[in-house]
A and B are shown apart, each in its own frame.
Chain A
Amino acid sequence: MSRTTFYAKRNIRRTPFQAIAASMVMFLTFFALTSFLLLAAGSQATLRFFESKPQVIAFFKEGTTDSDISTIENALKQDPRVINTKFVSKEEALKKYQRDNKNDPMLLELVTANILPPSIEVSTKNPEDLSAIAQILTKEPVIEQTFIPKDVIRNLTYFTTTVRLIGSAIVIFLLIFSLLIILMIIGFKIRIRRNEIEIMRLLGASTSFIRNPFILEGVFYGLIGAILAWVVSYGILWYFTPFLQGYLGEVRLLPVNPYFMLILLGTNLLIACFVGALGSFGAVRRYLKI
């Protein structure tokens, strides 16, 4: 094994530009793979968050009295589909706004309690009942507007599916592309070392003695690409975490769980080994007639 590693290292050292090119292609592939996996996991978690909170938010018109609000709240509590209601006053809305935007003083300066309408948040047992409750509330003369996260869920579902489809297509394309690049580079290296291989064969080298350094070389390119891609992706995510946290609001996705990132790294490394080894093996089968 140590001799295989020694030969693989020497092969890499002797053609540094090819090694850099192969590692960069693998980096691109695994950067795309990591990015799409993060995006897919993030959108999936966001979707789950909204799905787990079947809620209608109804905003009251300006000048709505406490008795009007109590009447509506009592009526809703009588409805068997409703499991909880919560009145949010102007002041509470402001506090929530201030909490959500604590990192942005500009936004905090512009908003006062007066411009935020009071609202009522209605939770149902089943998300399917949200539309019916929203319809009832819309008919109330004191209700300005109702909002249900159904649209958000629909949009998110569409977004998640699209990310998965486009991501899978791009990643599959890049994996095939990387596979071919590794095959081409290792094949080229085999060709330029034809004399050496011929001499090794005549000296009685076993197939594995000649083949294994090339396979290890392909695996090395894959691993380097995968590790670099993971580091860069994690770095970018870490850098943008404060911004994204503000944007995501109540959806607590960030900072991303380090355990999840380690699983992602492990997955990347496994795929990298597979792609690198497969590409090299293809080259060895194609060009190394032992």
Chain B
Amino acid sequence: MILFENVSKKFGSTLALDEICLEIKQGEFVFIVGPSGAGKSTLLRILTREIQPSFGKVKLGNIDIIKIKDKDLPILRRKVGVVFQDFKLLDDRTVFENIALALEVLDKNDQDIKKLVEHICKLVEIWDKRNLFPRQLSGGEAQRTAIARAVVGKPDVLLADEPTGDLDPKTAWGVIQLLNEINSWGTTIIMATHNQEIVNTLKRRVIIIKNGKITKDDKEGKYELH
């Protein structure tokens, strides 16, 4: 489903990714781990075509991410949901409106938007917070809102870049359980993290990146800090 073939990315003279070869199948839950600056976020940003790799080939299903024209980028991005460490919610919109935005860009009608947003809000347990603004939410609630926004359009893949980075351990576990549930619907999840406890408890596929290279790719891997 997702294919990286000899992908390298240079920022000036710095090599962020070095000949990455990787294949991720539909429905997998993959942890991308490694120290800060290893290239985890770069890998995810290539998948949304926020940045272009310097060399190599990247495919998502039938879409060639390198060759896709700018005007066709929305087609790619509607297949890929993204969750960030800092949530990236719009401060002047309520929880409901933040989630609805993802459906508005898909040109859904108001009735469908209302129905789908209600459904996802109940699933991620923020329905009672739907009229609150992001500044009125706790970290966990904000991240649940961000996840709801990312998945309400039913993307094939969910990219989560350090989604638990700003959360306390208990809240972080709540978010991970939610991601696990979303994965059970068939959505591929690629999560960049350096949370050792979460990675080792979930026992999912672990890809370790160091200095832009994949150093380890285990089906039921572990992550040890050393």
Residues of A within 8 A of B (CB): 3, 14, 195-196, 198-207, 209, 290
In Å, the complex CA distance between A88 and B149 comes to 89
Nearest B-chain residue to A201, judged by Cβ:
B77
How far does the Cβ of A1 sit from chain B's closest Cβ, in whole Å? Answer: 11
Q: Would you call A207 and B71 a contact (CB within 8 A)?
A: yes
Minimal Cβ-Cβ distance residue in B for A210: B105
Q: What 11 new A-B contacts, CB under 8 Å, besides A202-B82, A207-B74?
A: A14-B92, A195-B88, A198-B88, A199-B90, A200-B101, A200-B105, A204-B74, A204-B76, A204-B153, A209-B105, A290-B70
Q: Is the CB of B104 within 8 A of A204?
A: no
A198 to B71, CA, bound (A): 15
Closest Cβ–Cβ distance, residue A79 to chain B (whole Å): 78
Chain B: which residue is nearest A198 at the CB level? Answer: B88
Inside 8 A of A206's CB, which chain B residues have their CB? 74, 105
Q: Tell me the number of A-to-B contacts counted with CB atoms below 8 Å.
A: 44
CA distance A199 to B90 in the complex (A): 9
Nearest-CB residue, chain B, relative to A10: B92
Q: Which residues of B contact A205 (CB under 8 A)?
A: 74, 105
With both chains docked as a complex, state the minimum distance between the C-beta of B36 and any C-beta of chain A, in angstroms: 22
B48 contact set on A, CB distance < 8 A:
202
- Known A195-B90, A199-B90: A204·B106 in contact at CB below 8 Å: yes
Q: Which residues of A contact B105 (CB under 8 A)?
A: 200, 203-206, 209
Shortest beta-carbon distance from B78 to chain A in Å: 4
Is A204 a contact of B77 with CB atoms below 8 Å?
yes
- Complex-state Cα separation, A158 to B44, whole angstroms: 71
On whether the beta carbons of A204 and B90 are closer than 8 Å, the reply is: no
Is B102 engaged at the interface, CB distance under 8 Å to the other chain?
A: yes
Which A residues touch B92, using CB under 8 A?
A: 14
CB distance from B154 to the nearest CB of A (A): 12
Q: Which residues of A contact B73 (CB under 8 A)?
A: 201, 204
CB <8 Å contact, A203 and B90: no
CA distance A3 to B106 in the complex (A): 11
How many chain-B residues does the 8 Å CB contact rule pick out?
Answer: 22
- For A7, give the chain B residue with the smallest CB separation: B104
What residue in chain A is nearest B105 (Cβ atoms)?
A: A205
**In the assembly, what is the distance between CA of A195 and CA of B90, in Å?**
8
Check A203/B153 contact, CB under 8 A, given A3-B104, A209-B105, A290-B70: yes
Give complex CA distance A14, B48 in Å: 31
Give the CA-CA distance A202 to B146 in the complex, in Å.
Answer: 12
Interchain residue pairs A-B with the least CB separation, the first 8: A204-B78, A204-B77, A205-B105, A204-B74, A206-B74, A203-B102, A203-B105, A202-B82
Q: Considering only CB atoms, which chain B residue lies closest to A199 in the complex?
A: B88
Contacts of A200 in B (CB 8 A): 101, 105
B102 CB contacts on chain A under 8 angstroms:
203
In the complex, A14→B93 CA distance in Å? 12
Give the residue name and chain of the B residue nearest to A207 (CB): B71
Separation of A198 and B101 alpha carbons in the complex (Å): 13
Closest Cβ of chain A to B83, distance in Å, is 10
Interface string of B66-91 (1 = CB under 8 A from A): 00001101111110001000001010
> Once the chains are docked, how many angstroms separate the CA of A200 from the CA of B93?
13
In the bound complex, residues from chain A placing their C-beta under 8 Å from that of B104 are 3, 209
Interchain CA distance A203-B105 in the complex, whole Å? 7
CA distance A204 to B76 in the complex (A): 7
Q: Report B171 CB to chain A, min CB distance, Å.
A: 22
Which residues on B sit within 8 Å (CB–CB) of A198? 88
- Which residues on the A side are within 8 Å of B101 (C-beta)? 199-200, 203
Among A195, A204, A207, A209, which residue has the most Cβ atoms of chain B within 10 A? A204
Nearest chain B CB to A112's CB is how many angstroms away? 78
- With a CB–CB cut-off of 8 A, which chain A residues contact B71? 207
Given A195-B90, A196-B90, A209-B105, the answer on whether A203 and B77 have CB atoms closer than 8 Å is yes
Residues of chain A within 8 A (CB-CB) of B106 are 204
List chain A residues, Cβ under 8 A from B82: 202
Q: Tell me, in angstroms, the Cα distance from A196 to B101 when the chains sit together.
A: 10
A198 to B48, CA, bound (A): 12
The closest CB in chain A to the CB of B108 belongs to: A3
CB-based nearest A residue for B79: A204
Chain A residues in 8 Å Cβ range of B75? 204
Q: Assess whether A203 is in contact with B149, with CB atoms less than 8 Å apart.
A: yes
Closest B-chain residue to A2, C-beta based? B110
Contacts of A204 in B (CB 8 A): 73-78, 105-106, 153
**19 pairs, A vs B, C-beta closer than 8 Å:** A3-B107, A195-B90, A198-B88, A199-B101, A200-B105, A202-B48, A202-B50, A203-B105, A203-B149, A203-B153, A204-B74, A204-B78, A204-B106, A205-B105, A206-B74, A206-B105, A207-B71, A209-B104, A290-B70
A204 to B149 Cα, complex, angstroms: 12
Q: Which residue of A lies closest to B82 (CB)?
A: A202
